[in-house]
Amino acid sequence: MPAPLSFEAERSIIREMTTISGFRSQLFRAANEVHQLTPLQAQRLLEGAVALIRCMREQTGMEPNTEAPDITVRLLEIAGSAPDRSEREIRHALLESADIIRLLTMILDSLDEMEASDGP
Protein backbone atom coordinates (compact mmCIF):
# COMPACT_ATOMS: atom_id res chain seq x y z
CA MET A 1 0.00 0.00 0.00
CA PRO A 2 1.41 3.43 -0.91
CA ALA A 3 2.38 5.84 1.82
CA PRO A 4 -0.34 8.35 2.68
CA LEU A 5 0.17 12.03 2.02
CA SER A 6 1.73 14.02 4.82
CA PHE A 7 -0.32 16.28 7.06
CA GLU A 8 1.17 19.30 5.28
CA ALA A 9 0.21 17.90 1.88
CA GLU A 10 -3.36 17.30 3.03
CA ARG A 11 -3.58 20.86 4.39
CA SER A 12 -2.34 22.12 1.03
CA ILE A 13 -5.11 20.17 -0.69
CA ILE A 14 -7.72 21.70 1.59
CA ARG A 15 -6.37 25.24 0.98
CA GLU A 16 -6.37 24.73 -2.78
CA MET A 17 -9.94 23.45 -2.72
CA THR A 18 -11.08 26.95 -1.76
CA THR A 19 -10.91 28.06 -5.39
CA ILE A 20 -12.36 26.28 -8.37
CA SER A 21 -9.18 26.49 -10.39
CA GLY A 22 -7.14 25.37 -7.39
CA PHE A 23 -9.40 22.41 -6.85
CA ARG A 24 -9.27 21.50 -10.52
CA SER A 25 -5.48 21.66 -10.36
CA GLN A 26 -5.55 19.41 -7.33
CA LEU A 27 -7.65 16.86 -9.23
CA PHE A 28 -5.10 16.83 -12.06
CA ARG A 29 -2.20 16.55 -9.63
CA ALA A 30 -3.89 13.71 -7.75
CA ALA A 31 -4.56 11.89 -11.03
CA ASN A 32 -0.89 12.18 -11.94
CA GLU A 33 0.15 10.93 -8.50
CA VAL A 34 -2.66 8.44 -7.98
CA HIS A 35 -0.22 5.85 -6.66
CA GLN A 36 0.35 8.14 -3.65
CA LEU A 37 -3.34 8.60 -2.80
CA THR A 38 -5.04 6.63 -0.08
CA PRO A 39 -8.55 5.41 -0.85
CA LEU A 40 -9.91 7.95 1.64
CA GLN A 41 -8.11 10.81 -0.12
CA ALA A 42 -9.44 9.67 -3.49
CA GLN A 43 -12.92 9.41 -2.03
CA ARG A 44 -12.77 12.93 -0.56
CA LEU A 45 -11.53 14.42 -3.82
CA LEU A 46 -14.22 12.73 -5.88
CA GLU A 47 -16.97 13.64 -3.43
CA GLY A 48 -15.76 17.24 -3.48
CA ALA A 49 -15.75 17.21 -7.26
CA VAL A 50 -19.32 15.89 -7.37
CA ALA A 51 -20.49 18.59 -4.95
CA LEU A 52 -18.81 21.27 -7.06
CA ILE A 53 -20.16 19.88 -10.33
CA ARG A 54 -23.70 19.82 -8.97
CA CYS A 55 -23.36 23.37 -7.63
CA MET A 56 -21.96 24.65 -10.91
CA ARG A 57 -24.70 22.91 -12.87
CA GLU A 58 -27.27 24.65 -10.70
CA GLN A 59 -25.62 28.02 -11.37
CA THR A 60 -25.76 27.42 -15.13
CA GLY A 61 -29.34 26.19 -15.01
CA MET A 62 -28.21 23.00 -16.74
CA GLU A 63 -29.95 19.77 -15.94
CA PRO A 64 -28.21 16.39 -16.22
CA ASN A 65 -28.96 14.40 -19.36
CA THR A 66 -31.91 12.17 -18.46
CA GLU A 67 -31.25 9.82 -21.37
CA ALA A 68 -27.91 8.69 -19.93
CA PRO A 69 -26.78 7.89 -16.40
CA ASP A 70 -25.67 11.02 -14.56
CA ILE A 71 -21.88 11.20 -14.35
CA THR A 72 -22.07 12.40 -10.77
CA VAL A 73 -23.78 9.19 -9.72
CA ARG A 74 -21.01 7.16 -11.34
CA LEU A 75 -18.32 9.31 -9.72
CA LEU A 76 -19.94 8.80 -6.32
CA GLU A 77 -20.04 5.06 -6.91
CA ILE A 78 -16.32 5.11 -7.65
CA ALA A 79 -15.67 7.30 -4.59
CA GLY A 80 -17.64 4.97 -2.34
CA SER A 81 -15.75 1.94 -3.55
CA ALA A 82 -12.32 3.58 -3.83
CA PRO A 83 -10.52 0.83 -1.85
CA ASP A 84 -11.70 -1.72 -4.40
CA ARG A 85 -10.90 0.36 -7.48
CA SER A 86 -7.74 0.21 -9.57
CA GLU A 87 -5.40 3.17 -9.88
CA ARG A 88 -6.50 3.45 -13.50
CA GLU A 89 -10.17 3.76 -12.53
CA ILE A 90 -9.41 6.37 -9.87
CA ARG A 91 -7.16 8.32 -12.27
CA HIS A 92 -9.85 8.31 -14.95
CA ALA A 93 -12.51 9.50 -12.49
CA LEU A 94 -10.28 12.32 -11.23
CA LEU A 95 -9.45 13.47 -14.77
CA GLU A 96 -13.07 13.25 -15.84
CA SER A 97 -14.12 15.32 -12.83
CA ALA A 98 -11.51 17.97 -13.61
CA ASP A 99 -12.61 18.11 -17.24
CA ILE A 100 -16.29 18.55 -16.32
CA ILE A 101 -15.37 21.34 -13.91
CA ARG A 102 -13.29 22.99 -16.65
CA LEU A 103 -16.22 22.88 -19.07
CA LEU A 104 -18.66 24.22 -16.49
CA THR A 105 -16.24 27.04 -15.65
CA MET A 106 -16.14 28.00 -19.32
CA ILE A 107 -19.95 27.99 -19.48
CA LEU A 108 -20.25 30.13 -16.35
CA ASP A 109 -17.65 32.57 -17.69
CA SER A 110 -19.58 32.83 -20.96
CA LEU A 111 -22.83 33.45 -19.10
CA ASP A 112 -21.14 36.18 -17.06
CA GLU A 113 -19.83 37.81 -20.24
CA MET A 114 -23.29 37.68 -21.82
CA GLU A 115 -24.84 39.31 -18.75
CA ALA A 116 -22.18 42.01 -18.74
CA SER A 117 -22.76 42.81 -22.42
CA ASP A 118 -26.55 42.94 -21.91
CA GLY A 119 -26.12 45.58 -19.20
CA PRO A 120 -27.71 49.06 -19.25
Which pLDDT belongs to residue 42? 96
Which pLDDT belongs to residue 11? 59
In a domain, 57, yes or no: yes
In a domain, 1, yes or no: no
In a domain, 2, yes or no: no
Greatest CA span in the chain, whole angstroms?
Answer: 60
Above 80 in pLDDT, residue 57? yes
In a domain, 54, yes or no: yes
In a domain, 52, yes or no: yes
Q: Would you call 49 helix, strand, or coil by DSSP?
A: helix
Give the domain extent around 21. 7-117
In a domain, 63, yes or no: yes
> How many folded domains does the chain comprise?
1
- Give the residue with greater pLDDT, 114 vs 8: 114
Q: How confident is residue 1, by pLDDT bands cut at 50, 70 and 90? A: very low
Q: What's the pLDDT tens digit per position in 68-89? A: 778 899 999 999 999 999 999 9
Query: How many other CB atoms sit within 10 Å of the CB of residue 39?
Result: 16
- Give the residue with greater pLDDT, 1 vs 38: 38
Q: What's the pLDDT tens digit per position in 25-54? A: 999 999 999 999 999 999 999 999 998 888
Query: How many other CB atoms sit within 10 Å of the CB of residue 67?
Result: 5
In a domain, 101, yes or no: yes
